[in-house]
Structure 1
């Protein structure tokens, strides 16, 4: 039985376990089990108040145990494959299309032997075997090397299966070992090289929007002619592919991504050429996301450069801002990462003087790469990392990892 404790105010509080939720820890980049507790209080400072808080907690716990028992008894015979289908049907209306699509993908081959198994019969050993098998599953992106999927993908797949089981058959007794996500910092192609290979190509504009203004693929595809006005781009939506169908998502659900960017002169000239004859609701970029990506990969191959995803251009932008010592809050604003200031600045007609200086610093850097006036050789990613390590030996990696993680998970 839970025991109540006296608070500084004199009241009594009793905490009792409610359930466990799977949450994503942005600091470590991993999924974790978080125990959720219910709080019961009494304002009576006497021993009667203590007894009252404990009585409320005991009643809740009894009701919880009864409800969990009923739920397990009711759903224990459901097959895992049926539970997965019902889970999507049950929570689908509250999720975005891209999330539901992720749940519907056929990426659960390692769990195939469990699909015909009843939820009540699935054990820790079963789930551990599935996870171990999943760590060997070949990645579809590595057809040449046949490299396995990433530890992050393994963990995400298990998290979904675990969520399905707990939704119908609550069970906190599973103890599955998951692969650790290794620490890594991408060695990116220098910005100067990127600008050289995209020059005068069909994808120069989308690439510049990514590496210079830090837009993601979905954001670039969401920009309309009407979003460009008085030297600024105002982002308020994205376009993603759901089942191969381009689908508009309003950015209001991710406030940090609702932002406004000053347009550098060079990019403005490309935009002016691109929007000639277009209507206000026409997209700025007409190529599909797949077409842009394939042209980007082709450029890398033509110039014998190492593989780098289109999304890595946003990482390149983050590295440039780190090299230029851009203050964190302005780097967050430009990149659309979590910041309390973003919403306040989006629809204003002017930026703060400090933000304008930041934009000017970054624009001058890219302009110098374009016209060849850079005063010194551009630093490689390793050199930038070494400089950051020197400046902040204890916090350099955490700051860079957090920035990269936010870029990967807010699309």
Structure 2
């Protein structure tokens, strides 16, 4: 019980903290007994009002998704629905009011054997948001999540980029892959590009095609973030390929992102290249810019990035490659120094 204080008026006051609203409720009465009774009555009514309904976790998760459907992106809703359908298991059958930290930890641990750490964190985020929405108060600090894995992007070298541009020429993925390589666009942005977005010199990136909760591609007028809406000048290679292309549809690429990726990786395999992803070409574009000394600010603007995370990943990749080169150079130098000393000793 909170502390009771006596006021100058002679009355007594108690202030009770409500952790659900992050506010304090104040009660005043002529006697200590009365003020304690008022606070106790309020606490009892609050518990009744905020006690969870007879819902299973799965039912509550579905309600949470439906309540957020109009404010979340279609791809986020789709991701949540995948978690709802596939990742809850027997844990989803539990009544909300019965869930404890131990139950939550066991579910996390069981799923850690099937999903990557990033997937586990997404699942945990959805479930804990659902619990908060239903006022289930657990100590989440007690839950141990898998350690994050260091992201290692497969970034093509300059030689590999040149080969990629060569092998896709004349194929049905020539335009989407060339756009990914030369401009660093996301797959969703490429899929939404229309011929009306191209004026012969610039491309306007302002839309994206993403899968909805039913895995159907839908077009949204805004891209991933405000920074993603941008106008880019096309280079000579891309301009040549765009200008000579047959315009079979209002869209520059008539293929789905999955179909583009599948065909692109087939071409990579047939030509002795690693199984690069389309997103890898975005990293490759960033790598080229940074290698050419383009300032981070302009690289981020060109890529439509609102945060520097991807740039940092690419920097690390370049640093690791350069570190190996420096080690080899220094090793050769010390060998040269030693050989020179031995030659000098032999001449004595």
For normalisation by structure 1, the TM-score amounts to 0.62
Distance across 2 between alignment mates of 1:216 and 1:277: 21
2:172 corresponds to: 202
2:10 corresponds to: none
Superposed, 1:41-60 pairs within 5 Å as: 58-59=24-25
2:130 corresponds to: 164
Tell me, yes or no, if the aligned pair for 1:323 and 1:384 is still in contact at 8 Å. Answer: no
Distance across 1 between alignment mates of 2:158 and 2:88: 42
Instruction: State which of 129, 139, 150 in structure 2 corresponds to 1:183.
Output: 150
Distance across 1 between alignment mates of 2:208 and 2:288: 24
2:186 corresponds to: 216
Bigger radius of gyration among the two: 2
1:225 corresponds to: 195
Distance across 2 between alignment mates of 1:173 and 1:121: 14
Give the superposition deviation at 1:383.
5.3
Q: Which moved more, 1:295-304 or 1:226-235?
A: 295-304
1:110–1:102 distance in 2 versus 1, CA, 3 Å: closer
Tell me, yes or no, if the aligned pair for 1:210 and 1:216 is still in contact at 8 Å. Answer: yes
1:60–1:320 distance in 2 versus 1, CA, 3 Å: farther
Give the superposition deviation at 1:334.
0.4
What is the DSSP-based 3-state SS (H/G/I as helix, E as strand, rest coil) of the residue aligned with 2:232?
strand
1:264 aligns with 2:230: no
Tell me, yes or no, if the aligned pair for 2:201 and 2:239 is still in contact at 8 Å. Answer: yes
- 1:254-290 CA distances to partner (integer Å, 9 max, x unpaired)? 210000000111111111122x4557xx001111111
Give the superposition deviation at 1:306.
2.7
1:104–1:177 distance in 2 versus 1, CA, 3 Å: same
2:244 corresponds to: 273
1:317 corresponds to: 285
Superposed, 1:23-62 pairs within 5 Å as: 58-59=24-25
Tell me, yes or no, if the aligned pair for 1:217 and 1:311 is still in contact at 8 Å. Answer: yes
Tell me, yes or no, if the aligned pair for 1:218 and 1:238 is still in contact at 8 Å. Answer: yes
1:285 corresponds to: 253
What is the DSSP-based 3-state SS (H/G/I as helix, E as strand, rest coil) of the residue aligned with 2:278?
coil
Give the superposition deviation at 1:245.
2.5
Instruction: State which of 146, 150, 165 in structure 1 corresponds to 2:116.
Output: 150
Distance across 1 between alignment mates of 2:318 and 2:263: 29
1:108–1:292 distance in 2 versus 1, CA, 3 Å: same
Give the superposition deviation at 1:105.
1.5
Distance across 2 between alignment mates of 1:155 and 1:60: 39
Tell me, yes or no, if the aligned pair for 2:121 and 2:145 is still in contact at 8 Å. Answer: yes
1:131 aligns with 2:101: no
1:77–1:324 distance in 2 versus 1, CA, 3 Å: same
Tell me, yes or no, if the aligned pair for 2:193 and 2:251 is still in contact at 8 Å. Answer: yes
1:114 corresponds to: 91
Larger helix fraction of residues: 2
1:69 corresponds to: 47
Give the superposition deviation at 1:219.
0.4
Give the superposition deviation at 1:98.
2.0
1:109–1:222 distance in 2 versus 1, CA, 3 Å: closer
1:142 corresponds to: none
User: CA RMSD of the aligned region, Å?
Assistant: 3.3
The runs of 5 or more residues in structure 2 that have no matched partner are 4-16, 28-38, 308-315, 327-348
For normalisation by structure 2, the TM-score amounts to 0.73
1:104 aligns with 2:81: yes
Give the superposition deviation at 1:170.
3.1
Superposed, 1:89-100 pairs within 5 Å as: 89-100=66-77
2:298 corresponds to: 330
2:265 corresponds to: 297
Distance across 2 between alignment mates of 1:201 and 1:173: 55
1:236–1:117 distance in 2 versus 1, CA, 3 Å: same
Distance across 1 between alignment mates of 2:82 and 2:57: 15
What is the DSSP-based 3-state SS (H/G/I as helix, E as strand, rest coil) of the residue aligned with 1:292?
helix
Tell me, yes or no, if the aligned pair for 1:225 and 1:278 is still in contact at 8 Å. Answer: no
1:306–1:390 distance in 2 versus 1, CA, 3 Å: closer
Distance across 2 between alignment mates of 1:66 and 1:310: 57
Aligned residues: 288
